[in-house]
Amino acid sequence: MKLTLSVIKADVGGYVGHSESHPDILAEAGHCLAKYTKSGMLIDYHITKCGDDVQLIMTHQLGVDCEKIHRLAWDTFVSCTEVAKKLKLYGAGQDLLSDAFSGNVKGLGPGVAEMEFEEREAEPIVIFMADKTSSGSWNMPLYKMFADPFNTIGLVIAPPMHNGFSFEVHDVKEHKKITFNTPEEIYDLLVFIGAPARYTIKSIYHKDTKEIAAVSSTQKLSLIAGRYVGKDDPVCVVRCQGKFPAVGEVLEPFAAPILVEGWMRGSHMGPLMPVSVKDSTPSRFDGPPRVIALGFQLANGKLVGPRDMFDDKAFNLARHQANEMADMMRRHGPFEPHRLPLDEMEYTTMPEVMKKLGKRFKKIE
Ligand code: F6R
Ligand code: MG
Ligand code: MG
């Protein structure tokens, strides 16, 4: 059965501040998607949240970039925004950058990760969702899952994975894309994806069968809006087992927290902490950035699950380390590398300060 899995997310209002989604918003999203399931447009859905972002996880047979699906997601976010406005939640409707829907939510604010595939005999998937970070944050974890034998032993000892995977990388500033084959081109690939603010992994394919293995959202809110309107807070879908990495290989990169951009005011580096859905409540200094992982088995498009994959003691040490890294970064206060370099900060007072002080700068002889 050919199935489409669409994950579409938006921040339509935070509770309290940017720390969490209000239960009434999630309930409203549930009412909307139940209606579309009844009408037969969706096979199944699951609503969740990661911090202040509402996540619509949907299965259907209408393919990727389907106008009907994008419209229903948009309409759902508009209804949720109404609820957010009534409750006067913080930043109500902040990710809906346009007043009108025009065929596809890409470019209008919400983040989108969609894939179409033939549902296998058993189809385990893991959906990663992050808050207080940007779309390139999946680069290192995806590289580890699909190209690093120190993370994924299947690349070495599992015959269906031994030939490797292809990575489609997007240049988000120039709107260009390129595909790299691994393992043979890993050094070339790393030249680009090591700069995640500019180059992000959009999708990964099995090199022999060309089947889709993973897809991420690459929407960059600041580039869409031309100003700071909140962080991208990206999502990523990964198919697991068999010719793809095992569930444990897919989760393994998050056992060693890395530094990502997006903490406080979208202008700081901080550790990406793997947490349960319940604990995706960025609070300290509006963070630190969080990632959740929901696992499902698909059964003829039905989402069997979720299992809250990071709700596991095996990630306690990663959380502890992330807290220590957070302390280490906070120690730098307004200094780099905690604060992002000037041209990457989402907020800045530099133009005004320069205007005020410009004349006081004298040439150094
Ligand atoms: C939001 C975020 C927050 C805000 C901060 C200031 O994604 O990362 O850290 O940037 O709370 O928000 P405003 O400017 O709305 O007061
Ligand atoms: Mg917010
Ligand atoms: Mg958010």
pLDDT (tens digit per residue) in 141-189 = 999 999 999 999 999 999 999 999 999 999 988 999 999 999 999 999 9
- Kindly state whether residues 111 and 156 are assigned to the same domain: no
The pLDDT of residue 347 is 74
Question: Is pLDDT larger for residue 131 or for residue 355?
Answer: 131
- CA-nearest residue, atom 3 of ligand 1: 265
Mark whether 247 and 111 lie in a shared domain.
no
Is the pLDDT at 316 greater than 90? The verdict is yes
Q: How confident is the model at residue 227 (pLDDT cuts 50, 70, 90)?
A: low
CA of 11 to the centre of ligand 2 (A): 6
**Same domain, yes or no: 47 and 155:** no
* CA 283 / ligand 3 centre spacing (Å): 12
Measured between alpha carbons, how far is 269 from 165 in angstroms, rounded to an integer?
30
At 53, phi and psi to the nearest 5? -105, 135
Same domain, 114 and 6: yes
Asked whether residue 96 falls in the same domain as residue 129, the answer is no
Give 137's pLDDT tier (boundaries 50, 70, 90). Answer: very high
**Contact call for residues 290 and 275 (beta carbons, < 8 A):** yes
pLDDT (mean) for 270-299 = 98
Beta strand ranges found along 30-94 (DSSP E): 44-50, 53-60
Which is higher by pLDDT, 236 or 355?
236
Question: Residue 284: CB within 6 Å of ligand 1?
Answer: no
Crossing angle for the helix pair 139-147 and 186-193, nearest 10 degrees?
170
Domain edge (last residue) among 118, 142, 162: 118
User: By C-alpha distance, which of 104, 26, 120 is closest to 72?
Assistant: 104
Same domain, yes or no: 130 and 215: yes
Q: Which domain, by its residues, includes 188?
A: 120-365
DSSP helix/strand/coil, 215? strand
**58 and 149 belong to one structural domain:** no
At 21-58, the pLDDT tens digits run 999 999 999 999 999 999 999 999 999 999 999 999 99
What token pair was written down for 266? 């979208």
What's the CA-to-centroid distance between 163 and ligand 2, angstroms? 42
For residue 201, give both structure tokens: 């992994």
Share of residues in the chain with pLDDT > 90 (%): 85
Regarding predicted confidence, which is higher, 231 or 191?
191
Do 32 and 165 have their domain in common? no
Ranking 6-20, 115-129, 338-352 by mean pLDDT, the lowest is: 338-352
Q: How many CA atoms lie within 13 A of 14 on its CB side?
A: 21
Q: What is the pLDDT of residue 280?
A: 98
From 68, 52, 50, 49, select the one nearest 60 (Cα to Cα). 68
Assign residue 265 a region: left if phi > 0, alpha if psi is -120 to 50, beta otherwise? left
- Provide the b/e sequence for 55-64 (b: ≥16 CB within 10 Å): bbbbbbeeeb
Q: Whose CA is nearest to atom 8 of ligand 1?
A: 265
3-state secondary structure of 3: strand
Q: How confident is the model at residue 189, as a pLDDT?
A: 98
The answer on pLDDT for 237 being more than 80 is yes
Specify whether 310 is located in the same domain as 232: yes
- Give the closest residue (by CA) to ligand 1 atom 12: 265
Per-residue H/E/C for 224-262:
HHCCCCCCCCCEEEEECCCCCCCHHHHHHHHHCCCEEEE
Calculate Rg over the CA atoms of the chain: 20
d(CA 95, CA 221): 8
d(C-alpha 114, C-alpha 233), whole Å: 16
* Mutation probe of ligand 1 site: the residue of 53, 231, 233, 265 with most atoms within 8 A of C-beta: 265
Distance CA 301, CA 119 (A): 8
Q: How far apart are the two ends of the chain, measured CA to CA in Å?
A: 74
The CATH number linked to 28 is 3.30.70
CB 169 within 8 A of CB 185: no
What's the confidence (pLDDT) of residue 319? 98
Nearest to 282 by CA among 294, 272, 267, 293: 272
Q: For residue 225, what pLDDT band results from cuts at 50, 70 and 90?
A: low
* pLDDT above 90 for 352: no
Ligand nearest to the CA of 227: 1
Structural domains of the chain, count: 2
Around Cβ 34, how many Cβ atoms within 10 Å? 13
- The answer on 292 and 187 residing in a single domain is yes
Q: Give the distance from CA 64 to its chain's centroid.
A: 17
**Does residue 223 have a pLDDT over 80?**
no
Q: Is the pLDDT of residue 87 over 70?
A: yes
Which of 118, 152, 182 lies at the terminal end of a domain, its last residue? 118
Asked if 285 and 330 count as a contact pair (C-beta separation under 8 A), the reply is yes
CA gap 289, 130 in Å, rounded: 7
User: Final residue of a domain: which of 91, 118, 145?
Assistant: 118
d(CA 215, CA 301): 18
Whether residues 130 and 188 fall in one domain? yes
Question: Which residue shows structure tokens 């060693």?
Answer: 256
Opening angle at CA 221, ends 330 and 284, nearest 5: 25
Instruction: Verify that 292 and 173 share a domain, yes or no.
Output: yes
Largest Cα–Cα distance of the chain, in whole Å? 76
Which of 49, 222, 286 has the most ligand 1 atoms within 8 A of CB, as the residue to mutate? 286
Q: How far is the CA of 149 from the centre of ligand 2 (A)?
A: 37
For residue 226, the model assigns a pLDDT of 67
pLDDT, greater one: 106 or 261: 261
The pair of structure tokens assigned to 92 is 């109500």
